Structure 1
Amino acid sequence: MKIRLVHNGVFEPVEDVSQALTPPPEGFYWIDADVDDLEVLQPLFNLHDLAVEDCLTEEEQRPKLEIYENQYFLVINSIRFDDEEIFLRALNLFLGRHYLITVTRQKINELRSIKPILLEQEVNRADRFLYHLVDIVVDNYFDVGDRIEARIEGLEEDIIMHTNKSHLSQIVSLRSEILWLKKVLGPQRDVIATLNKKDLRLIDDQLQKYFGDIHENAVKISETFETYRDLMGNLREAYQSSVANRANEIMRVFTALTTIFMPLTFITGVYGMNFSYIPGLDFRYGAEVLLLIMVLLGFGMFYYFRKKDWL
Structure 2
Amino acid sequence: MHTLTVFQRHGFQAVTDLDQISDLLMQPRTLIWLDLEQPTASEIERLRAEFGFHPLALEDALQEHERPKIETYPGYYLIIFYSVGYNASERSLQFLPITLFVGANYLVSIRSGPVRHVQQTLARWQTNSHVPGYQVSSVLYALIDAIVDDYFVVLDQIGEQIDEVEEAIFQRGRQEVASEIFTLKKDLLLFRRIVAPERDILNVLLRQEVRIFQPRELAYVRDVYDHLVRLTESIDLYRDLLSSALDSYLSLQGNQLNQLVKVLTLWSIILMACSLVAGIYGMNFVFMPELEQPWGYPFALGLMLTIAVGLGIYFKRSNWW
Name the TM-score class by shorter chain. Answer: 0.7 to 0.9
1:109 to 73, 98, 116: 116
TM value normalised by structure 2 = 0.82
Partner of 2:104: 97
Query: What is the root-mean-square deviation in Å for CA atoms of aligned residues?
Result: 3.0
1:213-228 matches, cutoff 5 A:
213-228=223-238
Deviations 1:140-163, CA, capped at 9 Å, x for gaps = 222222233333333333333337
Q: Residue 79 of structure 1: CA displacement?
A: 1.8
Cα distance in 1 between the residues matched to 2:207 and 2:155: 27
Q: Which residue of 2 aligns with 1:47?
A: 53
Higher RCO (CA 8 Å, separation ≥ 6 residues): 1
- In the other structure, the counterpart of 2:172 is 162
For residue 305 of structure 2, the aligned residue among 283, 295, 302 is 295
CA distance in 1, matches of 2:99, 2:209: 21
- 2:14 alignment partner in structure 1: 13
What's the counterpart of residue 57 of structure 1? 63
Identity %, equivalent residues: 27
8 Å Cα contact 1:7/1:26 also seen in 2: yes
1:173 and 1:200 mapped to 2: Cα distance? 37
Take 1:259 and 1:157, find their aligned partners in 2: how far apart are those partners?
37
Q: Aligned partners of 1:201, 1:298: CA distance in 2, in Å?
A: 85
Aligned-partner Cα distance in 2 for 1:191–1:294: 78
TM-score norm. by structure 1 comes to 0.84
The worse-fitting range, judged by mean Cα deviation, of 200-209 and 212-221 is 200-209
CA shift digits 1:196-224 (9 cap, x unpaired)? 33165543332222000000111111122
Contact 2:82 2:95 in 1 (8 A): yes
Distance 1:15 1:179, change over 3 A: closer
> Partner amino acid for 2:243?
G
1:305 aligns with 315
Q: Does residue 136 of structure 2 align to residue 126 of structure 1?
A: yes
Q: 2:33 maps to what in 1?
A: 30
Structure 1 residues not aligned, in runs of 5+: none
- Identify the match of residue 146 of structure 2 among 126, 136, 140: 136
Equivalent in 76, 79, 89 of residue 81 of structure 2: 76
**Match in the other structure for 1:88:** 95
Aligned 8 A contact 1:159 1:167 in 2 = yes
Does the 8 Å contact 1:280/1:286 carry over to 2? yes
- Alpha-carbon separation, structure 2, partners of 1:49 and 1:18: 19
Contact 2:185–2:242 (CA under 8 A) maintained in structure 1: yes
Q: Number of residues paired by the alignment?
A: 309
Change (3 A) 1:12 1:306: farther
Is the contact made by 1:27 and 1:124 (CA closer than 8 Å) also made in structure 2? no
Unaligned runs of 5+ in 2: none
| CA distance in 2 between partners of 1:55 and 1:189 (Å) | 20
- 1:238-253 equivalences in 2 (<5 Å): 238-253=248-263
Contact preservation (8 Å) 1:197, 1:208: no
The one-letter amino acid paired with 1:213 is D
Q: Which deviates more from structure 2 when the two are superposed, residues 96-105 or residues 80-89?
A: 80-89
Partner of 1:210: 220
Note if 1:4 corresponds to 2:2. no
